[in-house]
Amino acid sequence: MMILRAPHAHEGISIKKVMFKVNIALLPAVLLGILQFGMPALFLVVTTILSALACEVISLKLNPRAQGKINDGAAILTALILAMSLPPHAPLWLGALGSAFAIFFGKQVYGGLGQNLFNPAMLARVVLLISFPVEMTKWITPSAFYDGIWYKMGVDGVSGATTLGLSKEGAETGFHWLSHVLGTSTGSLGETSAMLMLLGGVWLIHQQVFTWHVPLATLAGCLLPGTAMWLSDPAAIPEPLAQLTSGGLLMCAFFIATDPVTTPTSNRGKLIFGAGTGFLIFVIRAFGNFPEGVAFSILIMNAVTPLIDQYTRPRMYGYGLKTEEK
């Protein structure tokens, strides 16, 4: 989205169409995660979505003047992003509680769709991570989901640490780039397949759902200092390809940081926002207590979005800011 002066011409793009495209772009990664982690992951996704829709209905009944509609796809997108950031075998109540918090306190309390200050899904994830750290850090090693005959849906839960988690503990990560690219690594549903995240994000750029500014700046903001630190001290941080394909960096760059509601509107502002988000992810990964910092970084940058917008707003053609203010 860009701020432009009138007159405007409608391109025929609606919120419903945008939400539909983003949900479609996420679907391959969701399906792959369900195939890998089995029925518990499927139940978690369904529960999270149903909880979000139920809370959306209740909120709109309580406040009919709130923005948005139940069928605009926004609640489903919030639930999908939240579910993809949770451990695949997380308790169902955790997904339901997270969705309820995201819809009630992350979105509807501000007045509904387009009014929220923070990304609802990331706000809920941070609350869950702080309130239920044990349930939020039980990662499951994906099984061989294809045995040569058919895909297995029943998967025994085998605990395993993520690549970033092992690196944070100073252990040998055993990073295998092909596993992370294809999507057979340990992590949340949204962390497993770098390839599907990248393909979905590029397709959304091609569909003009968002521009390249935020994704590119987010990746550069994290990988440039991360690569420099890895070159100076390889033991302190995973190699650049591991930083890119592990954790939620790609999901953040294409599906979270590009939220048009909570990010700046000008292209210059988007570059600043993305670079700041990526840099904070690097800082938290390298020096923080948590192995991943996507949710915290997004919320911090959401808080400074109004300030970025104030200093990067486009000028009216032919006029300077001082002239405009007069």
Q: What is the pLDDT of residues 290-317, one digit of tens each?
A: 888 899 999 999 999 999 999 887 766 6
319: in domain:
no
- Residue 9: is its pLDDT beyond 90? no
> How far apart are the C-alpha atoms of 117 and 304, rounded to whole Å?
10
- Residue 129: is its pLDDT beyond 80? yes
> How far apart are the C-alpha atoms of 144 and 35, rounded to whole Å?
9
- Residue 151: is its pLDDT beyond 70? no
For the chain, give the mean pLDDT.
Answer: 85
Confidence class for position 30, pLDDT limits 50, 70, 90: very high
10: in domain:
no
Q: Counting Cβ atoms within 10 Å, is residue 37 exposed (0-12), middle (13-18) or buried (19+)? A: buried
pLDDT in tens, 154-209: 555 556 667 777 777 766 666 777 777 777 777 888 777 889 999 999 999 999 99
Confidence class for position 319, pLDDT limits 50, 70, 90: low
What are the residues whose beta carbons fall under 8 Å from the beta carbon of 108, sequence distance 6 or more?
55, 56, 59, 60, 63, 66
284: in domain:
yes
- The per-residue pLDDT for 156 is 56
- Going by the DSSP 8-state scheme, the letter that residue 159 receives in this structure is B
5: in domain:
no
- The per-residue pLDDT for 155 is 52
- The per-residue pLDDT for 320 is 60
318: in domain:
no
8: left (phi over 0), alpha (psi -120 to 50) or beta: beta
- The per-residue pLDDT for 149 is 52
- The per-residue pLDDT for 6 is 61
219: in domain:
yes
Which domain covers residue 265, as residue numbers? 15-312
Check: CB of residue 172 under 8 Å from CB of residue 164.
Answer: no
- The per-residue pLDDT for 143 is 67
Confidence class for position 83, pLDDT limits 50, 70, 90: very high
- Residue 235: is its pLDDT beyond 70? yes
**Of 226, 220, 198, 187, nearest to 84 (Cα)?**
187
180: in domain:
yes
324: in domain:
no
b/e burial code for range 175-191 (CB count within 10 A of at least 16 → b): beeebbbbbbbbbbbbb
Domain count, the chain: 1
Q: Calculate the alpha carbon distances from 47 to 29, 52, 155, 261 in Å.
A: 18, 9, 19, 25
> How far apart are the C-alpha atoms of 2 and 149, rounded to whole Å?
50
- The per-residue pLDDT for 322 is 54
Lowest mean pLDDT among 32-41, 49-58, 104-113, 180-189: 180-189
Q: Calculate the alpha carbon distances from 201 to 132, 189, 262 in Å.
A: 30, 16, 18
The model's pTM: 0.87
Instruction: Write the single-letter amino acid at 151.
Output: Y
| Token pair in block for residue 14 | 């609606």
